[in-house]
Amino acid sequence: MNKFTHAIVKHKKIVLIAFLFISIVSAILSTFVTVNYNLVDYLPENAQSTIAIRIMESEFKDPMPNARIMLNKVSIQEALEYKSKIAALDGITSISWLDDVVGLDTLKTTPLEYLDENILKNYYKDTNALMSISIEAGKETSTVNAIYSLIGKDNAAAGESFNTAEVQSMSVSEVMKAMMILLPVIIIILIISTTSWFEPLLFLISIGVAIIINMGTNLIFGEISFITQTVSPILQLAVSLDYAIFLLHSFNDHRRSHEPEEAMKLAMKEALPTVAASAATTIIGFAALIFMRFGIGADLGLILLKGITLSFISVMVFLPVVTLMSYKMIDKTRHRKLLPSFHRVAGGLMKIRVPFLIIAFVVAIPTLLAQSHTEFMYGMGSITATSRVGEDTVRIEKAFGKENPLLLLVPRDSVGKEARLCDDLSEIKHVTSIVTYATVVGAEIPTQFVPKEVYDQFYSENYTRIVLYTDAAEEGADSFAMVQSILDTSAKYYDSYYVTGQSATLFDMMKVISVDTRIINLVAIVGIFIVLLVTFRSLSIPVFLVFTIETAIWINLSFPYFSNQSLSFIGYLILSTVQLGATVDYAILLTSYYLNHRKTLGKLEAMRITLGDNLVAVLISATILSTAGFTLALTSNNPIIAELGTLLGRGTLLSLTMVACVLPALLVLFDKLIQKTTWNKK
């Protein structure tokens, strides 16, 4: 360690130039990182809906439709002309309408009243034409804008691709908007909590450099999700700012009796164990996300893990250098201490510790059960509810009814078997109509007498394609029960079968994530328990610390249940690991100082002094993290991100309350148990 600190202090200019060069390169590289706005891409490869999409891409010419366009008050000929113009737009990979089902010649020569009403109503009704299109992934924004220019405001368009395009436009400025509000607030908090006007700038520079490098090195992953792009810079700043505060606080203490360079060497040695332990618990919380089968967890977990590691390196290498180069500026900008003493507050907390402990025990089990019964949302429909996409969706549903198409792929077999399957599928609740060869052409008509463009709609070399039109919502208990019924019915006729479509992919998400949540929570708790076990060499202390933070998490996640609201699964997954990994540091800090004071003082006096001396540090850290959360909630147009921000902000304040009011009672009440179960502690 001595060689390391000496090398950093000796080669200040080299370190500074290296970090600045890497930061500039990373800032440039960050512009080349691709952002993925489609959560479906993160499903496991063996998910049945994912397999269905692969089969569609390899076996059929036309991909699965991901949007709908409604043309108002048009004739058949006008609709066909619109179809031709839309098909010519860049990014349109397929477009289908009534002519693709009944055949172009049949549509042009047969009066509408002679066409099958069950088929016609899905495509043409009251002179309104409804077309299904597929937009190439990655071209959603440009293609959607081109469609809007072509169809104007009188017509309507909606669907997955339009949702994706809307989310893209929302996310472009999300980070900058949040940072513009968050940074001034954090600067004010840091100015109040320090004794120099210049120190907050050093904190932000050291973590800011780490954030830029993290964003640039994301290029190694090829692409990141829009959730990660929006959330990771905010979380990295809020979670790792403590590291810089620890180091500069120690540096200022040693400046009283040592020259700046020697004081920095001592500060680096002193801060390293504290910063490393704090980073370790946070990293474990993020690392738990990597164990998710749903790829969004690994995407977010790896990038946040990398970000915290880079913040740790920046604080221990870059911050000492810029501090030594600017310590005179720190001295020139000194101001009086702005925060009052918290010793009176500590005395008040000691008086209310027992009632708070009783309350914690009383609410622990009910909130644990409540949060486990919270209903989750897996789709992105809520994001676009107030935009043109949401309004157009309502217009289309008003004209043609709620439509949620699903696509069933089964091995190619006899038309009669296919017809029997369709008869059974039509009995499933919410299935309104079925479009396949047996229902459109007729099981009795030989395939060789059918036009090729119609035949290709239903058959490939190996598979039969069956389109099921449903009036179910995209997600929810009824929708998922419908998907399960379709799978169960198909199993009666075929050994292999695959369903895709929005409800099918969300159904697969639900199944995958319901298992993932248990896994990542267990991994996070066990991992952090082991860190605490090693840190305190105690069997009982980790139990008290994990209980303290987990109870805060349970209370936080029970709010949606008691308010009868659904919760985005992304908010749940991130919050359950981030709140544990980031806020357990408060409990570690308090417990460490309590054990140190306990060597020479009685348990009540040791706790009172511990709270008086350290409550301000916990309060500052919690204020920064909760402010980051609430800033996301207030600035984000994306309801998923805003909800995550609310959970993070509220959860941090609950963790602060538990650490300040409940943990002291646990440590004092079980003082003898801690002595008996802690190795080599006086």
Residue 39 to residue 96: CA distance in whole angstroms = 25
pLDDT (tens digit per residue) in 609-634: 988 888 888 888 888 889 888 888 88
pLDDT of res. 174:
65
Model pTM? 0.80
pLDDT of 682 over the 60 cut: no
Under 8 Å between Cβ of 500 and 465: no
- Residue 114 vs residue 392, higher pLDDT: 392
pLDDT of res. 39:
78
pLDDT of 678 over the 90 cut: no
Residues 533-549, mean pLDDT to the nearest whole number: 90
Other Cβ atoms less than 10 A from the Cβ of 37: the count is: 23
Residue 100 to residue 452: CA distance in whole angstroms = 10
SS3 at position 661: helix
pLDDT of res. 63:
72
Under 8 Å between Cβ of 353 and 668: yes
The strand pairing partners of 465, in sequence order, are: 409
Under 8 Å between Cβ of 464 and 485: no
pLDDT of res. 382:
58
- Supply the mean pLDDT for the chain: 86
Determine whether domain 406-500 maps to CATH 3.30.70. Answer: yes
pLDDT of res. 276:
85
pLDDT of 681 over the 60 cut: no
pLDDT of res. 107:
84
- What's CA 316's distance to the chain center, in Å? 29
pLDDT of 552 over the 90 cut: yes
pLDDT of 470 over the 70 cut: yes
pLDDT of res. 320:
92
φ/ψ of residue 302, rounded to 5: -65, -40
Least confident range from 114-118, 349-353, 446-450, 539-543: namely 446-450
Other Cβ atoms less than 10 A from the Cβ of 113: the count is: 7
Residues 17-42, mean pLDDT to the nearest whole number: 90
- Residue 32 vs residue 107, higher pLDDT: 32
Domain locations along the chain? 1-32+194-338, 67-158, 342-389+513-682, 406-500
pLDDT (tens digit per residue) in 33-85: 988 887 788 888 888 988 998 888 888 877 777 889 999 999 988 999 999 99
pLDDT of 254 over the 70 cut: yes
DSSP state of 138: T
> What is the enclosing helix (H) or strand (E) of 15?
helix 12-30
pLDDT (tens digit per residue) in 193-218: 788 888 889 988 999 999 999 999 99
pLDDT of 636 over the 90 cut: no
Other Cβ atoms less than 10 A from the Cβ of 119: the count is: 17
Q: What confidence tier does 482 reach under pLDDT thresholds 50, 70, 90?
A: very high
Residue spans of alpha helices (H) in 194-314: 199-217, 226-255, 260-287, 295-313
Other Cβ atoms less than 10 A from the Cβ of 657: the count is: 15
pLDDT of res. 19:
94
pLDDT of 338 over the 80 cut: no
pLDDT of res. 444:
63
pLDDT of res. 1:
67
Per cent of the chain over pLDDT 90 is 28
- Domain 342-389+513-682, CATH: 1.20.1640.10
pLDDT of res. 173:
63
Residues 462-469, mean pLDDT to the nearest whole number: 88
Q: What confidence tier does 7 reach under pLDDT thresholds 50, 70, 90?
A: confident
Other Cβ atoms less than 10 A from the Cβ of 676: the count is: 10
The strand pairing partners of 334, in sequence order, are: 196
Residues 649-660, mean pLDDT to the nearest whole number: 93
Q: What confidence tier does 504 reach under pLDDT thresholds 50, 70, 90?
A: very high
Residues 406-418, mean pLDDT to the nearest whole number: 88
pLDDT of res. 437:
77
Q: What confidence tier does 88 reach under pLDDT thresholds 50, 70, 90?
A: very high
Other Cβ atoms less than 10 A from the Cβ of 682: the count is: 8
Long-range contacts of 258-262 (CB under 8 A, 24+ apart): 260/324, 260/327, 261/9, 261/324
φ/ψ of residue 68, rounded to 5: -130, 145
Q: What share of the chain is helix, strand, coil (3-state, %, to 5)?
A: 70, 10, 20
pLDDT of 154 over the 70 cut: yes
pLDDT (tens digit per residue) in 367-401: 999 988 888 888 765 565 667 888 888 898 888 87
Looking at 1.20.1640.10, 1.10.357.10, 3.40.50.720, 1.10.3720.10, the CATH number of the domain 1-32+194-338 comes to 1.20.1640.10
pLDDT (tens digit per residue) in 284-294: 888 888 888 88
DSSP state of 334: B
φ/ψ of residue 453, rounded to 5: -65, -30
Residues 578-598, mean pLDDT to the nearest whole number: 85
Q: What confidence tier does 673 reach under pLDDT thresholds 50, 70, 90?
A: very high
pLDDT of res. 308:
93
Residues 177-195, mean pLDDT to the nearest whole number: 81
- Residue 345 vs residue 262, higher pLDDT: 262
Buried b (16+ CB within 10 A) or exposed e, 161-183: bbbbbbbeebbeebbebbbeebe
> What is the enclosing helix (H) or strand (E) of 434?
strand 431-435
Residues 566-573, mean pLDDT to the nearest whole number: 79
Determine whether domain 67-158 maps to CATH 1.25.40. Answer: no
pLDDT of res. 361:
92
Residue 479 to residue 377: CA distance in whole angstroms = 12
342-389+513-682 shares its CATH topology with 406-500:
no
Residue 176 to residue 497: CA distance in whole angstroms = 46
- Residue 455 vs residue 154, higher pLDDT: 154
* Contacts (Cβ under 8 Å, ≥6 apart) of 110: 102
